[in-house]
Amino acid sequence: EIVLTQSPGTLSLSPGDRAALSCRASQSVSSNYLAWYQRKTGQPPRLLVYGASIRATGIPDRFSGSGSGTDFTLTISRLEPEDFAVYYCQQYGTSPVTFGQGTRLEIK
């Protein structure tokens, strides 16, 4: 199965900062089928991006996904207070689908 490694494990930033979250795959992700989710405490994951770079419905344009092959990035251009959460990547190009271990984005 494809192993996804997210880095950093924890990212400490301030509102207004730019955040770059990395997701690296152990082998190429077929068709760049990579998704990103946001998870807040006590809430289910929320889809942010799919197809590596396509924002899901209702997701603000400060969230952007990029990358291909084995290296992917989720960028949040200007952090809002509500963006501090845990972020997961997921590949869905190869069975079984797999998730990264998450990056915790915390307020500095």
Q: Which residues bind other proteins (CB under 8 A)?
A: 33, 35, 37, 43-47, 50, 56, 88, 90, 92, 95-102
Choice between 35 and 105, CB closer to other proteins: 35
Tell which residue, 88, 106, 61, 108, has the closest CA to residue 6. Answer: 88
The minimum distance between CB 89 and other proteins, in angstroms, equals 10
- Cβ distance 30 to 70 under 8 Å? no
Tokens of 96: 């079984």
Q: Least distance to other proteins from the beta carbon of 16, Å?
A: 29
DSSP state of 92: -
Are the C-beta atoms of 34 and 52 separated by less than 8 Å?
yes
Taking the least distance from each CB to other proteins, the nearer of 62 and 104 is 104
Nearer to other proteins, 67 or 100 (CB): 100
In the complex, the smallest distance separating the C-beta of residue 81 from other proteins, rounded to whole angstroms, is 23
CA distance 51 to 74: 12
CA–CA distance, 84 with 37 (Å, rounded to integer)? 13
Closest distance to other proteins from the beta carbon of 84 (Å)? 19
Choose between 17 and 104: whose C-beta lies nearer to other proteins.
104
